[in-house]
A and B are shown apart, each in its own frame.
Chain A
Amino acid sequence: MSMTTEQSKTVIEVRKVRQSFPRPSGGELTVLEDVNMTLREGEIVGLLGRSGSGKSTLLRIMAGLVEPTGGSALFQGQPIHGPAAGIAMVFQTFALFPWLTVLQNVSLGLDALKIPEAEARKRALEAIDLIGMDGFESAYPKEISGGMRQRVGFARALVVHPDLLLMDEPFSALDVLTAETLRTDLLDLWSEGRMPIKSILLVTHNIEEAVLMCDRILVFSSNPGRVVAEIPVDIPRPRNRLDTKFRRLVDHIYERMTMPASAGGPQAGVPDLSGDSITKVLPRVSTNSIAGLIEAIAGAPYNGRADLPVLADDMHMSADVLFSVAETLQLLRFADIEGGDIRLTEAGRRFANEDVNVRKQMFAERLLSHVPLAAHIKRVLDERPEHRAPYSRFAEELEDAMSEEQAEETLRSAINWGRFAEVFAYDENRAMLSLDNPS
Chain B
Amino acid sequence: MEKIQTISVARRGRLAPSPWDGVALCLVAGSLALIVYGARQMGGPLTSVSAAEISLSPAHLPEYALRTTLRMFAALAASLLFTFTYATAAAKSRRAEAVLIPILDVLQSVPVLGFLSFTVTGFMAIFPGSALGAECAAIFAIFTAQAWNMAFSFYQSLRTVPLDLDEATRAFRLSGWQRFWRLDVPFAMPGLIWNMMMSMSGSWFFIVASEAISVGNTTITLPGIGSYVALAIERRDLMAVGYAVVAMLIVIIAYDQLLFRPLVAWAQKFRFEQTAGQQMTGVWLLRLLNRAKLVQLGFAPLQKGFGAVARAPMNFGKWRWTATPVPARWLNALWGGVWWGVWVFVALFGLEALYRELYGQVDWPEVMEAFRLGLLTLTRVVVLVVLASLVWVPIGVWIGLRPRLAMRLQLIAQVLAAFPANLLFPAAVVGILHFQLNPNIWLSPLMILGTQWYILFNVIAGASAFPSDLRDAAANLRVTGRPWWFKVILPGIFPYFVTGGLTASGGSWNASIVAELVVWGNTRLEANGLGSYIAKATAAGDYPRIILGVVVMSVFVTLFNRIFWRPLNSYAERRLRMN
Contacts and interface: CB of A to CB of B under 8 A. Distances in A.
Interface stretch (B102-110, B315-323, B356-364, B540-548): B315-323
Given A82-B322, A140-B269, A429-B575, A97 B182 contact: yes
Contacts of A108: 168-169, 172, 174, 182
B172 A88 contact: yes
Contacts of A63: 167, 171
Nearest to A149: B274
A109 interface: yes
A67 B321 contact: yes
B168 A99 contact: no
A88 B322 contact: no
B165 A81 contact: no
Given A67-B323, A82-B321, A111 B313 contact: yes
Q: Which of B168, B174, B186, B276 has the most CB of A within 10 A?
A: B168
A101 to B, nearest CB: 10
Contacts of A83: 170-173, 320
Contacts of B313: 111-112, 114
A89 B173 CA distance: 11
Nearest to B183: A97
Nearest to A63: B171
Contacts, number: 83
B274 A109 contact: no
Nearest to B304: A117
A97 B173 contact: no
What secondary structure prevails in chain A residues at the interface with B? loop
Interface in B150-190: 162, 164-165, 167-175, 178, 182-183, 186, 189
Given A97-B183, A98-B271, A109 B165 contact: no
Contacts of A114: 313
B536 interface: no
Contacts of B308: 117
B173 A98 contact: no
B183 A111 contact: no
A332 interface: no
B270 interface: yes
A48 interface: no
B564 interface: no
A91 B178 contact: no
B164 A91 contact: yes
A142 interface: yes
A358 interface: no
A141 interface: yes
Contact of A81 (B168, B271, B272, B321): B321
Contacts of B322: 81-82
Interface in B117-168: 162, 164-165, 167-168
A81 B170 CA distance: 12
Q: Which of B172, B183, B320 has the most CB of A within 10 A?
A: B172
A91 B186 contact: no
A93 B164 contact: yes
B173 A85 contact: yes
B287 interface: no
Contacts of B269: 98-99, 140
B170 A112 contact: no
Contacts of B172: 83, 88, 108-109, 112, 156, 160
Interface in A56-70: 60, 63-65, 67
A347 interface: no
A113 B320 CA distance: 16
Interface in A383-435: 429
B178 A95 contact: no
A100 interface: yes
B60 to A, nearest CB: 44
A112 B175 contact: yes
B167 A65 contact: yes
Contacts of A98: 269-272, 274
A398 B280 CA distance: 50
Nearest to B323: A81
A156 B274 CA distance: 20
B291 interface: no
A85 B173 CA distance: 8
A142 B183 CA distance: 16
Given A67-B321, A109-B172, A156-B172, 13 more contacts: A65-B167, A67-B323, A81-B322, A81-B323, A82-B321, A97-B168, A97-B186, A99-B270, A100-B182, A108-B174, A108-B182, A111-B311, A141-B274
Interface of A: 60, 63-65, 67, 81-83, 85, 87-89, 91-95, 97-100, 108-109, 111-114, 117, 140-142, 156, 160, 429
27 contacts: A60-B167, A64-B170, A67-B321, A83-B171, A83-B320, A87-B171, A89-B168, A91-B164, A94-B164, A95-B167, A97-B165, A97-B168, A98-B269, A98-B270, A99-B269, A100-B182, A108-B168, A108-B169, A108-B172, A108-B182, A109-B172, A109-B173, A111-B178, A111-B311, A112-B172, A142-B276, A429-B575
Task: Give the 9 A-B CB pairs with smallest separation, nearest first.
Answer: A109-B172, A95-B164, A82-B320, A95-B168, A112-B173, A89-B171, A99-B186, A93-B164, A99-B270
